DNA sequence: GCTCCTTATGTCGAATATGACATAATATCC
DNA sequence: GGATATTATGTCATATTCGACATAAGGAGC
């Protein structure tokens, strides 16, 4: 393989070649927030469809009402992991999780 | 609204109505693992396309080579958050992140 | 074989996310 | 109005995840 040469040339400082499609920190954070809003909406929607209270869902997840509330508010203290796990626990498929990550969340207002 | 009555009937014990599509804990864990494998593959693939080393990517992420290695191995000690952030930082769109969550990961072998 | 580069694995203190609890705010009924 | 149910917000001790470091393991070229 002839990677060595190219690697030495490209990626030398920071300007790696090809598409140059790195996001900055701010853009990344914005994307994460949108993504989390999408998950939050999905959790709220699914819980609503089941006619469950936050406390019931909290119990199902082995968690608490307050954490569910924060989850649905896309609070900065809740991880993507928790939201994803919650959706899966409520019966969402991986594809469904994916789709609510892909779509721009409805509730954009602050 | 007439929710009260229905809520009292449904959701009484745990058998909430409609689709009854709750996953058990095991199934949820399995789904999480698959999902993480998909993200891990995506990180590895993107890094490869950039011809970056794990150390370079670690530096870009404000992290370290070892964490990138664990990330690409879908190690249990790495969060979905970190993987998602890494992909976004490398320029992936929310949709691209979603698609690699949706698809069943190639590398199924242990 | 040895050297150099890259990746894998284990461990640590520090940083962050967690469940739990209290309590405030917001409905929804009478 | 009050009573009751549900949701929002703040705080805290514990648990998990973090970056960092050391070091082993795997390859590529000599």
C-alpha distance from residue A48 to each of A45, A74, A78, A110, B37 (Å): 5, 16, 20, 21, 30
pLDDT at position B79: 98
Residue B58 vs residue B17, higher pLDDT? B58
Contact between A51 and B6 using a beta-carbon 8 Å cutoff: yes
Q: Is pLDDT of A17 > 80?
A: no
Q: Residue A91 pLDDT > 50, yes or no? A: yes
- pTM of the predicted model as reported, rounded to 2 decimal places: 0.83
Question: pLDDT > 70: what percent of chain B?
Answer: 76
Percent of chain B with pLDDT over 90: 68
Predicted local distance difference test score (pLDDT) of residue B54: 96
CA A99 to C1' C29, whole Å: 38
Q: Which nucleotides of D are covered by protein (CB under 7 A)?
A: 5-11, 17-22, 28-29
Q: Measured between alpha carbons, how far is A30 from A99 in angstroms, rounded to an integer?
A: 18
Of A27, A50, A84, the CB nearest to B35: A84
B27 or A75, greater pLDDT: A75
Distance, in Å, from the CA atom of B38 to the CA atom of A64, rounded to the nearest integer, reads 30
Whether residues B98 and A99 touch (CB distance < 8 A) is answered with: yes
What confidence category does residue A24 fall into, taking pLDDT thresholds of 50, 70 and 90? Answer: confident
Q: Give the residue on B whose Cα is nearest the Cα of A96.
A: B102
Chain C positions with any atom < 7 A from a protein CB = 5-11, 17-22, 28-29
């Amino acid at each position: 393989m002839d990677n060595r040469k190219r690697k030495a040339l490209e990626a030398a400082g920071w300007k790696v070649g090809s598409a140059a499609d790195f996001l900055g920190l701010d853009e990344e954070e914005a994307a994460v927030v949108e993504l989390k809003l999408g998950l939050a909406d999905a959790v709220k929607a699914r819980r609503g469809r089941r006619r469950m209270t936050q406390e019931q869902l909290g119990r199902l997840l082995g968690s608490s009402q307050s954490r569910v509330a924060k989850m649905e508010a896309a609070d900065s203290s809740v991880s993507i992991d928790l939201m994803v796990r919650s959706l899966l626990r409520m019966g969402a498929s991986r594809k469904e999780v994916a789709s609510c990550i892909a779509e721009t969340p409805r509730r954009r207002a602050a």
